[in-house]
Structure 1
Amino acid sequence: MNGIARIDEQSVIKAYARWAPVYDLSFGPVADAGRKRAIDIINQRKGTLLEVGVGTGVALPRYASHLTVTGIDLSPDMLRIARQRVRERKLTNIAGIYEMDASELRFEDASFDTVVAMYVMTVVPDPVQVLKELERVCAPGGEVVIVNHFAQDHGVRGWVESFMAPAARALGWHPDFRAETITDITTLDLVETVKLKPFGLFTMLRFKKADDAAEGASSGAVDESPTAI
């Protein structure tokens, strides 16, 4: 995985069980500017949307009502909050909220017109496999949007990231995750790179999947029937 140390799946689940009650008040505000920018772009699209790493569902009320949204996450504690948010806000465009491993998505090929993963790639055990899954479930002509922190190896920020790496891994994320981990292996076309607030700490990568001769509308159908909302 290009030198990225693998994070154990159970460590991720345990970490987010601890963070779930305070996530929206702690990390939420830091990530809000990047999330808003991505959602503004996504809301200009049509059809079906998959949010990978939906977490507590903080983005769900912001998606345009004309989008049919599905969310997945590995953390049952996060999903409990997301489902409550859907109920309380009466979000009728949410097709389902599923507990699911992002590296083994239980959706058919080409199921979604848009796939988004915000602040996810640094916390999954196998980001390369997750990227392959994002590509697979994205429909031809669709977009994959990734918002993430990407490490740099120079300057003060690079030194701080290296210094903090052991502690960050203990919290369940890859502080040394580089954009090349994605851009060097994907078959998608990178159409836009945007540095995001605050301080360019996060980056949005927009990818487009080639529009081939595939037919049929994207359905978002799940291969099996997990418990949803």
Structure 2
Amino acid sequence: HPTAAGQLLRQLQQHGPAVCSDAEVMDLDEDELRCGLIAPRLHGYLQLPLSPKLTQGGKARHVSGSGAQRMAIARSFAEAMEARSLYLVGPGSTTQALLDLLGVDGTLLGVDALLGDGTLLARDASRRELEDLAERWQVPLHLVLSPIGGQGLVLGRGNQQISPRLLRAAGRRGLHVLAPPDKLISLYGGVLRIDSGDAELDAEFNGYLPVTTGYREQTMWPVSV
């Protein structure tokens, strides 16, 4: 994020060239993505400063956790859902397991809005649609997210439809993180990250968040912006 970029430049100015290593420049094939296929392509290599606190790690390309683990996480969360609440479910295979369990025809790569009883209100919704739903329903708001493998980003990559306005409305108690244990262990820098676009709001989530890692199992995990 911009603050980290500024800190890296200050380090360069004060201490000279940073220790760097080769890093892959990867991106998804947009045409394949529109067809629902995830096909990353290597574009080349660039020098990356070795600073885990200021740079993000590469995305993990494997699917974390077994199908049984993801279903156990989904079942645990589903049992605690409240019928008269609004849930915004982000992308990922773990959150997809929750939608499958509820019988909701959601999207793997987008954000879906549903009530706690499983009623789908919007599939692959835009930021404006999500904000309009939150304003219209006037019920408790919950964000159900899974971090990006390797990078640890809960917000800010792949789910920009969830705006700072929605994050503020949900608050700490309305932010739910779902992840298998091996995904947490493999996180770059060992922390979860939030980059909503509002630095002051992000800082409010520094500390620890509960992460659902199994059936009725939670782990407190550090969050650092």
Same fold (TM over 0.5): no
TM-score by length of 2: 0.42
* Higher RCO (CA < 8 A, seq sep 6+): 1
Q: TM-score, normalised by structure 1?
A: 0.42
The structure richer in strand per residue is 2
